[in-house]
């Protein structure tokens, strides 16, 4: 008579644990309630992002100026983009700026991260100081550097007799882009520094100790241990950097306003300028092409670095 009781006692927990699994649906998949929680987010995302983007792409095939009536033009706006010298100049500047800045920012951020990962005095305080630029508004930073490049730097160059910088580089069409690279890198290095610091702290110290016993130098340790193990973090910073630099806007507004002439006018500035000057449909076509280019660049980056994702 005790055997059925024991069987019942054993079967009871299994039945209790089976109840939540049945609520999750077959094969452990989330049930209907889980999907219902996604509905508010999907509705908001659709209303705020998908619908406006869809309308913008539709209007890019018209002569819409932002209000009033419109007529369908087909691909005329897109065809005009490829023959517009202003658009070509904006794309050339934006892509070139993004490439130069992302290389400069990543090299400096990785160098700082490696240096701060060593056992040095005030390492924590230095990390805090280096992160400060990240929390300051981009437009504020740009106006501060505008004053430095327009007044302080020329005055200092004049005092030491360095003639190439006695005039503001912001007024030089061949050098104005350098100021934008410097300010953009200065503001984005802290974010990359934090990512690299996280990657470096995840590397086991035993690897460095073993390599030191084998006589490996600091450079050999960096090349053979550090760099391969943080390759995934390099990928993250590169993708985020390229994405951010392609959309640069506030720094240029505060530094050069797109000048001298249109030498530092980015794609984002060109698009926003068209929206406010009655060129809505044409710049929507420009924005659509720019979006496709940005997506393609991201896909190429991911494909080129496939297999080097974070494994720590």
Query: Domain with 116 in it: what CATH number?
Result: 1.10.3720.10
Establish if 142 belongs to a structural domain: yes
Establish if 270 belongs to a structural domain: yes
Of 276, 275, 256, 280, the residue nearest 266 (C-alpha): 256
CA distance 254 to 144: 9
Q: Cβ(167)–Cβ(146) under 8 Å?
A: no
Establish if 29 belongs to a structural domain: no
The answer, yes or no, to whether the previous bond of 260 is cis (omega within 30 of 0) is yes
CA distance 210 to 221: 10
Establish if 284 belongs to a structural domain: yes
Q: Cα dist. 308→21, 214, 223, 233 in Å?
A: 36, 27, 15, 9
Q: How many domains are there within the chain?
A: 1
Q: Which pLDDT score, from 0 to 100, does residue 121 have?
A: 65
Would you give the end-to-end CA distance of the chain in angstroms?
Answer: 56
Host H or E run for residue 128: helix 123-131
Establish if 178 belongs to a structural domain: yes
Q: Cβ(78)–Cβ(289) under 8 Å?
A: yes
Establish if 296 belongs to a structural domain: yes
Residue 199's Cα: distance from chain center in Å? 18
Which residue reads 């896909």 in tokens? Answer: 299
Q: Which pLDDT score, from 0 to 100, does residue 34 have?
A: 80
Residue 296's Cα: distance from chain center in Å? 15
The per-residue pLDDT string of the chain (312 residues; one tens digit each, 9 = 90 and over) reads: 444 544 445 444 444 444 444 444 555 577 788 888 889 999 999 999 899 889 989 999 998 887 888 889 889 999 999 899 999 999 999 999 999 999 999 999 999 888 887 766 666 677 677 777 777 888 888 899 999 999 999 999 999 988 888 888 998 888 899 999 999 999 999 889 889 988 888 888 888 889 888 888 888 888 889 888 888 888 888 888 888 898 889 899 999 988 888 889 999 998 988 887 778 899 999 999 999 998 888 888 777 666 554 444
Strands (E), 189-245: none
Domain that holds residue 298: 85-304
Establish if 97 belongs to a structural domain: yes
Establish if 214 belongs to a structural domain: yes
């Amino acid at each position: 008579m005790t055997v059925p009781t024991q069987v019942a006692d054993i079967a009871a927990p299994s039945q209790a644990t089976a109840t939540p699994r049945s609520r999750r649906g077959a094969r452990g998949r989330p049930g209907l309630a889980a999907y219902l929680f996604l509905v508010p987010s999907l509705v908001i995302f659709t209303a705020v992002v998908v619908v406006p983007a869809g309308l913008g792409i539709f209007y890019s095939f018209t002569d819409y100026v932002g209000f009033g009536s419109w007529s369908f033009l087909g691909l005329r706006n897109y065809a005009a983009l490829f023959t517009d010298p202003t658009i070509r100049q904006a794309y050339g500047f934006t892509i070139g700026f993004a490439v130069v800045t992302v290389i400069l920012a990543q090299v400096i951020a990785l160098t700082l991260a490696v240096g701060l990962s060593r056992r040095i005095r005030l390492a924590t305080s230095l990390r805090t100081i280096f992160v400060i630029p990240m929390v300051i508004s981009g437009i504020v930073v740009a106006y501060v550097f505008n004053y430095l490049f327009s007044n302080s730097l020329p005055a200092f160059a004049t005092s030491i007799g360095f003639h190439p910088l006695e005039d503001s580089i912001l007024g030089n069409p061949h050098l104005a882009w350098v100021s934008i690279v410097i300010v953009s890198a200065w503001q984005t290095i802290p974010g990359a520094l934090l990512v690299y610091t996280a990657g470096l702290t995840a590397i086991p110290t035993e690897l460095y100790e073993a390599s030191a016993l084998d006589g490996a130098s600091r450079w050999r340790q960096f090349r053979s241990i550090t760099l391969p193990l943080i390759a995934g973090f390099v990928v993250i910073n590169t993708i985020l950097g390229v994405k951010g630099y392609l959309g640069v806007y506030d720094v240029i507004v505060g530094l050069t306003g797109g000048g001298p002439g249109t030498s530092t006018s980015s794609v984002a500035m060109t698009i926003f300028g068209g929206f406010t000057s009655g060129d809505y449909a044409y710049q929507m076509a420009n924005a659509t092409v720019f979006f496709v280019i940005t997506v393609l660049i991201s896909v190429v980056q991911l494909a080129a670095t496939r297999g080097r994702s974070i494994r720590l």
